[in-house]
Structure 1
Amino acid sequence: MVYLIVAILVVVADQAVKILVRSTMVQGDSVSVIGDFFRITYINNRGAALGMFASNNKMLLAVPVVIIISIMLFVFLHRYTHPMVKYALTLVAAGGFGNLIDRTLFGQVTDMFSFRIFPPIFNVADIAVTVGCILILIYALFGERMDHRAAGAGKGRPKHGR
């Protein structure tokens, strides 16, 4: 249940920020938040990450649906998966769903966060996907140690069925 709440919060935050940007800015507008270091810049992205596959909208709709369903089935059906992995996958699925809403309704994704040191402009959903992927990488690198610590603190197999 907690994973569903996290997913809903991510999607609501993503859509709320996008609605705010679309309703208060004109595409191409840019507002300084921290000098030139961080700006809110309203753009619409017809492609996937970094604008890739902009000409294949059917693929950009179908692939995320399959991925999101697969991830959520895994999260809810695999009782002994480490909670960190479940949270990570939930973030990836929720971020994917947030951008899928835009693609379905508008044929493009609203992006707004712009950092001078990082050229692509991105949104809350992109942040969720990125954080989820980083957590998966951390677990892939250090998960075995994390599981051994959990097993040492308790009795037997770590209880990841939360």
Structure 2
Amino acid sequence: MKYRHVILIVVLILVIDQAVKIWVKTHMYMQQEIPVFPNWFFIHFIENEGMAYGLKFGGEFGKIILTLFRLIAVIVGFVYMKKLIAEKYSRGLLICGSLILAGATGNLIDSMFYGMIFNDSLGYNVAQLFPKEGGYGTFLHGRVVDMLYFPIYEGVLPKWIPFKGGDTFIFFRPVFNIADAAISTGVITILLFQKRFFGRHMEPKESTNSIASDTAA
């Protein structure tokens, strides 16, 4: 697998991610919900200030730190991918790395630029792209657009569960986007297949150490 293949995967996911986000932002107002498959899949428009799946981090200053951290992580990630390709790591690992990079870049674009290029979606207002009056925020202060909602199961937790017993339970409650899905897919796949992805590159080191020990003996 070559570096251009990594770039191609990243660009493909970015185009899909940004196209969906821009459509949602310019066609829906905040908290609007469109059923795709009733009872288990909805397009539900929300925005978040922080990390994936609506997590937050430290207010306005934390928002800037998080965005800058994402930017550094993406730059380091592309450099590291070159290293993995040069050392001929498995295609599966490189694809997973590409998914993670694409997802991180997708949410980084929101955080860096969406505040400048969109106005607000509050109330029943549908945002405009590049509005004359300017955006709702400044550079690094954009909000990440989320829209994928899969409330596959809804029920009530058993009363014997401490603190939460009797509460309504929804699986899967978080609203996320394609970038989040790409990151999660890449990370989970690496965790599941790490021995296959990294094993071949660990063996030569172990063999070299073994030969060195035999020679010393």
Which residue of structure 2 lines up, in the alignment, with residue 42 of structure 1? 45
Separation in 1, partners of 2:36, 2:12 = 24
Distance 1:33 1:140 in 2: 35
Residue in structure 1 matched with residue 7 of structure 2 by the alignment? 4
- How far apart, in 2, do the equivalents of 1:131 and 1:8 lie? 17
Q: 1:74 to 1:136 in 2, by over 3 A?
A: same
Of Structure 1 and Structure 2, which has the larger fraction of its residues in helix? 1
The alpha carbon displacement at 1:71 in A equals 1.4
1:63 alignment partner, one of 65, 69, 74: 69
Contact 1:71 1:90 survives alignment (8 Å): no
Structural RMSD (CA) = 1.7
**Structure 1 residue 36, shift from structure 2 partner:** 2.0
Alpha-carbon spacing, 1:111–1:24, altered in 2? closer, same or farther (3 Å):
same
Q: Structure 1 residue 73 and structure 2 residue 79: aligned? A: yes
Instruction: Please show how residues 1-162 of structure 1 align to structure 2 within 5 Å.
Output: 1-49=4-52, 50-53=54-57, 55=59, 56-78=62-84, 79=86, 80-105=88-113, 106=115, 107-116=142-151, 117-143=171-197, 147=200
- The one-letter code sitting in structure 2 at the alignment partner of 1:14 is D
Q: Of the two, which has the highest radius of gyration? A: 2
Counterpart residue number, 2:137: none
Describe the SS at the equivalent of 2:173.
Answer: strand
Equivalent AA in structure 2 for residue 118 of structure 1: F
* Partner residue in 2 for 1:159: none
Q: Distance in 1 between matches of 2:93 and 2:6?
A: 11
The 8 Å contact of residues 92 and 197 in structure 2, kept in 1 or not, is answered as no
TM-score in terms of structure 1 length: 0.84
Amino acid at match of 1:129: I
Identity %: 31
- Cα pair distance change 1:144/1:8, threshold 3 Å: closer
| 1:34–1:54 CA distance, 2 compared to 1 (3 A) | farther
CA contact (8 A) 2:77 2:101 kept: yes
Query: Is the 1:102–1:109 contact (alpha carbons within 8 Å) kept by the matching residues of 2?
Result: yes
The count of aligned residue pairs is 147
Contact map agreement 1:7 1:91 (CA 8 A) in 2:
yes
What is the CA deviation profile of residues 64-123 of structure 1, one whole-angstrom value per residue up to 9, with x for unaligned ones?
111111111111133222221111111111101100110111221000000112111000
**After the TM superposition, which parts of structure 1 deviate over 4 Å for at least 4 consecutive aligned residues?**
none
For 2:24, what is the secondary structure of its paired residue?
helix
Does the CA contact (< 8 Å) of 1:45 and 1:110 recur in 2? yes
Residue 99 of structure 1 contacts residue 109 of structure 1 at CA under 8 Å; is this kept in 2?
yes
